[in-house]
Amino acid sequence: MSNGNNTLLKVVDLKMHFPIYRGVFQRQVGAVHAVDGVSFDVKRGETLGLVGESGCGKSTTGRTILQLYKPTAGDVHFEDVNLVTLKSEEMRLMRRKMQMIFQDPYASLNPRMTVEQIVGEPLMVHNVAAGAEIHERVAHLLDVVGLNASFADRYPHEFSGGQRQRIGVARALALQPSFIICDEPISALDVSIQAQVVNLLEELQEQFNLTYLFIAHDLSMVRHISKRVAVMYLGVIVELAERDELYHSPLHPYTQALLSAVPIPDPVADAARKRKPLEGDVPSPVNPPSGCRFRTRCPIAEKMCAESRPDFREVSPGHFVACHLAK
Amino acid sequence: MSDLLLEVKGLETQFKTPEGIVRAVNGVSFGLKEGETLGVVGESGCGKSVTMLSVMGLIPSPPGKVTAGEAYYFGQDLLKMSNEEVRHIRGAQIAMIFQDPMTSLNPVLTIGKQLEEPLMLHIGMTKNQARERAAELLGMVGIPNAKDRLNDYPHQYSGGMRQRVMIAMALSCSPQILIADEPTTALDVTIQAQITDLVKRLRDELGMAIIWITHDLGVVAGLAKRVLVMYGGKIIEESEVGDLYANPSHPYTIGLLGSLPRVDEKEHARLFSIEGAPPVLYKKPQACPFAPRCKWAVERCWKENPPLEPVSSEHRVACWVDPKTGRTR
């Protein structure tokens, strides 16, 4: 499926189940099947978009890749090293190459640290720089993300949301990683600020040859920034394809419904398209439906959809779909 | 004048904060026709929610205060009424739904109880009548087994269903006006589509007027007939919906539309971005509030705040410059 040089990250059948404990003896009575068998590749220098509604497991997938949770099963190969088998010290060293940008720029920066301490901390922790060199490197990083280097002594509360997200980006870049997981980096920002941050991410990608896993629920933004897009539903990837292929000819009924639900900022185009509304809500991941996860809301579900779980098959080159009925 | 259901004139609202007085709304005037859907668009802090809360008499005072303006509903000025008088209109004739369905429902009362309350209070129904009507309302907003689910508590409902309950509650007294303050922002896109479809259906069935407040220009495109764009506590553009998207005339509206990626995007280009951040107004603006972020700004923009002037019959804009030609108006 892939040659070793081109693939930066390979996720194989990744599962993350969070146990539920109940009662006096805290017996395990069940598990939240947050991620339940997810496989995909990320190629060097590309942006893979990961979309889905809240609770579908997209953020958990990102965190499990970075081994912030210990996966229940599955493998994560990064540059041909299986991260799942690494000891914690080895993993710590690997994290230099893989960083994360978080959703909430208000919660992900320590309010008691100055910008210099925040952005400089990874340099210190990994013994990459010390003393005056940190000061220089931080000034350079702030410059790269479009902040004035003289802001280094300020605290997070002195910045607006967009500026804080730039600080988060600077921190992620500090160790010169090759891979960054962007976990909904713009959802907490105002519309006019979102474009600033997305443009910055795109510029940095070109400048430093970065690879992104871009997690978001905003399908328009994912379309804008990604080369390939994976759609998640209730812990599994239901469809993965090149961006234009996915948006022009979605094969999975969930992808079709999701795309038709996105409002278009143009009354003419919005009125012209066909809607495929979905009924009901997402079922609980504690006790997901048998067979195909989507069958309870699927407009075309048949008997076999309840009986067996559909394979994640390649229907045309590079276009994968997990549906019995998709052609 | 008489065809306007609600007419707001020169509204100003301020908040006292430790940093000084924040002028959240600075002279907002608009009208709402019977049965019309009006979209109010703007970023956080632009004054869109505060405008509507002021009209409804829901500004917490202190620290907030409506310092000027009139809001006529059937010839009566809502802002001059006593609390008691406003209470009879609010909820019964002008209803409101809020952004967060998780916090707008009382967690210790059943859904049924919360639905019955306005019916008994405003319409004077008996307990049994209210019970029956509550079940009807839940069914109307698309909740299956409505009768049984009246005994459930809010935590037993999902986010989308809670927003449906809020809508049922708002519609319970058949209001003339429904004010919806970002009702779908906290919801997923598929649920958002369900809710907007529901509101469209109910609007056509019941013929009420809707004011839909949002930051999402996409949602408004499919729903509203007329749109107000707000910035810095002012209406900076007002237009019929089609013309707003076809001919945006204020630099801020142009920037906002340009900064949105579209799910039907044709080719990849860098997004247009508006530099800088929205202002916090500690002083009554003497200049155009958008001037610091505007690339078309001329000298006059820094000296005088532009009034809302018509560019065509259904389209008004507050800007000294015509961005299409770059010349002053």
Q: Looking at chain B, list the stretches that DSSP marks H as alpha helix, in order from N- to C-terminal side.
A: 48-55, 83-89, 111-118, 127-140, 146-149, 159-171, 189-206, 217-223, 241-246, 251-258
The pLDDT assigned to A5 comes to: 64
The CB density around residue A292, as the number of other CB atoms within 10 Å, is 28
DSSP A280: S
Distance CA B63, CA B83 (A): 17
- Its pTM stands at 0.85
- Mean pLDDT, rounded, for B280-304: 86
Is A194–B259 a contact, with Cβ atoms under 8 angstroms apart? yes
The pLDDT assigned to A315 comes to: 93
Indicate the average pLDDT of chain A: 90
Mutation target to probe the B interface, by most B beta carbons within 10 A, among A191, A201, A202, A205 is: A191
Name, in order, each residue with C-beta under 8 angstroms of A47's C-beta and a sequence gap of 6 or more. Answer: A205, A211, A212, A213, A214, A225, A226, A227, A228
- Mean pLDDT, rounded, for B215-237: 91
The CB density around residue A208, as the number of other CB atoms within 10 Å, is 13
Name, in order, each residue with C-beta under 8 angstroms of A132's C-beta and a sequence gap of 6 or more. Answer: none
Distances, alpha carbon B56 to alpha carbons A145, A252, B92, B197, in Å: 43, 46, 12, 26
User: What would the pLDDT profile of B128-169 be if each residue is shown by its tens digit?
Assistant: 999 999 998 888 888 888 888 899 999 888 888 888 898 888
The pLDDT assigned to B2 comes to: 54
A48-62, B277-291, B302-316: lowest mean pLDDT where?
B277-291
Distance CA A91, CA A64 (A): 13
- Mean pLDDT, rounded, for B38-56: 90
For chain A, percent of residues with pLDDT exceeding 70: 98
Distance CA B12, CA B67 (A): 5
Strand order in the sheet with A81-82: A27-43, A7-22, A73-78, A81-82
**Could you identify the residue written with the tokens 């129904």?**
B125
Distance CA B164, CA B145 (A): 14
- Is residue A2 scored above 50 in pLDDT? no
Distance CA A35, CA A289 (A): 14
The pLDDT assigned to B238 comes to: 94
A211 strand-pairing partners: A179
Distances, alpha carbon A141 to alpha carbons A122, A134, A176, A196, in Å: 12, 10, 10, 17
Cα A191 to chain centroid, rounded: 20
- Is residue B279 scored above 90 in pLDDT? no
- The helices-and-strands tally (H runs, E runs) of chain A is 11, 12
Mutation target to probe the A interface, by most A beta carbons within 10 A, among B184, B189, B220 is: B189
The CB density around residue A284, as the number of other CB atoms within 10 Å, is 12
Q: How many CB pairs under 8 A join A and B?
A: 130
User: What would the pLDDT profile of A88-105 be if each residue is shown by its tens digit?
Assistant: 999 999 999 999 999 888
- Mean pLDDT, rounded, for A10-23: 93
- Mean pLDDT, rounded, for A292-299: 92
Indicate the average pLDDT of chain B: 87
Contact A275, A261 (CB under 8 A): yes
List CB contacts (< 8 A) between A195 and chain B: 258-260, 271-274
Distance CA B213, CA B54 (A): 14
Helix (H) or strand (E) holding A311: none
The pLDDT assigned to B122 comes to: 84
Q: What is the largest CA-CA distance in chain B?
A: 67
The CB density around residue B328, as the number of other CB atoms within 10 Å, is 13
Q: Looking at B9-91, list the stretches that DSSP marks H as alpha helix, in order from N- to C-terminal side.
A: 48-55, 83-89
Position A75, amino acid: D
pLDDT bin (cut points 50, 70, 90) of residue A1 is very low
**Could you identify the residue written with the tokens 């019955």?**
B116
Apex CA B265: angle with CA B262 and CA B271, to 5°?
Answer: 65
- Mean pLDDT, rounded, for A35-39: 93
- The helices-and-strands tally (H runs, E runs) of chain B is 10, 14
Distance CA A327, CA A313 (A): 11
- The answer to whether A263 faces chain B, any CB pair under 8 Å, is yes
The CB density around residue A5, as the number of other CB atoms within 10 Å, is 10
Taking Cα atoms as reference points, which of B228, B186, B161 lies closest to residue B8?
B228
ipTM score of complex? 0.79
- In this structure, are strands B94-97 and B177-181 parallel, antiparallel, or unpaired? parallel
pLDDT bin (cut points 50, 70, 90) of residue B1 is very low
What residue segments make up the domains of chain A, in order of their start?
253-327
- Mean pLDDT, rounded, for B42-65: 88
Distance CA B261, CA A68 (A): 32
Please give the structure tokens belonging to residue B253.
């509206």
Contact A188, A103 (CB under 8 A): yes
Report which of residues B327 and A40 the model is more confident about: A40
User: What would the pLDDT profile of A221-246 be if each residue is shown by its tens digit?
Assistant: 899 999 999 999 999 999 999 999 99
Contact A184, A215 (CB under 8 A): yes
User: What would the pLDDT profile of B164-201 be if each residue is shown by its tens digit?
Assistant: 898 888 888 888 999 999 888 877 888 888 888 888 98
Buried b (16+ CB within 10 A) or exposed e, A249-263: ebbbbbbbbbbbbbb
Is A192–B161 a contact, with Cβ atoms under 8 angstroms apart? no
Name, in order, each residue with C-beta under 8 angstroms of A26's C-beta and a sequence gap of 6 or more. Answer: none
Distance CA B172, CA A220 (A): 36
Contact B305, B288 (CB under 8 A): yes
Strand ranges, E, within chain A: 7-22, 27-43, 47-51, 73-78, 81-82, 98-101, 179-183, 211-216, 228-233, 236-242, 313-316, 319-321
Chain B positions touching chain A (beta carbons under 8 Å): 43-44, 158, 160-161, 188-194, 196-197, 215-219, 221-222, 241-242, 245-246, 255-265, 268, 270-275, 277-278
- Is residue A174 scored above 90 in pLDDT? yes
SS3 B327: strand
Q: Which residue of A has its CA nearest to B263?
A: A220
Distances, alpha carbon B96 to alpha carbons A109, A255, B169, B223, in Å: 36, 33, 9, 17
Contact A202, B172 (CB under 8 A): no
Please say whether the dihedral angle defined by the alpha carbons of residues B96, B101, B104 and B109, taken in this order, is positive or negative. positive
pLDDT bin (cut points 50, 70, 90) of residue A278 is confident
- Mean pLDDT, rounded, for A16-30: 90
- Mean pLDDT, rounded, for B258-281: 79
- The answer to whether A276 faces chain B, any CB pair under 8 Å, is no
Q: In terms of C-beta distances under 8 Å and separation of at least 24 residues, what long-range contacts does A183-186 make, across chains too?
A: A183/A59, A183/A62, A183/A63, A183/A100, A183/A101, A183/A102, A183/A103, A183/A215, A184/A59, A184/A103, A184/A215, A184/A216, A184/A217, A185/A101, A185/A102, A185/A103, A185/A214, A186/A216, A186/A218, A186/A221
Contact A127, A199 (CB under 8 A): no
- Is residue B266 scored above 80 in pLDDT? no
- The answer to whether A274 faces chain B, any CB pair under 8 Å, is no
Q: In terms of C-beta distances under 8 Å and separation of at least 24 residues, what long-range contacts does A104-110 make, across chains too?
A: A104/A188, A105/A161, A105/A164, A105/A165, A105/A167, A105/A168, A105/A188, A105/A189, A106/A156, A106/A161, A106/A164, A106/A188, A108/A168, A109/A156, A109/A164, A109/A167, A109/A168, A110/A156
**Could you identify the residue written with the tokens 């003896």?**
A25
Please give the structure tokens belonging to residue B281.
């107004």
- Mean pLDDT, rounded, for A251-278: 87
- Is residue A157 scored above 80 in pLDDT? yes
Q: Which residue of A has its CA nearest to B223?
A: A267
Q: Which residue of A has its CA nearest to B255?
A: A192
Distance CA B317, CA B238 (A): 6
Is A192–B43 a contact, with Cβ atoms under 8 angstroms apart? yes
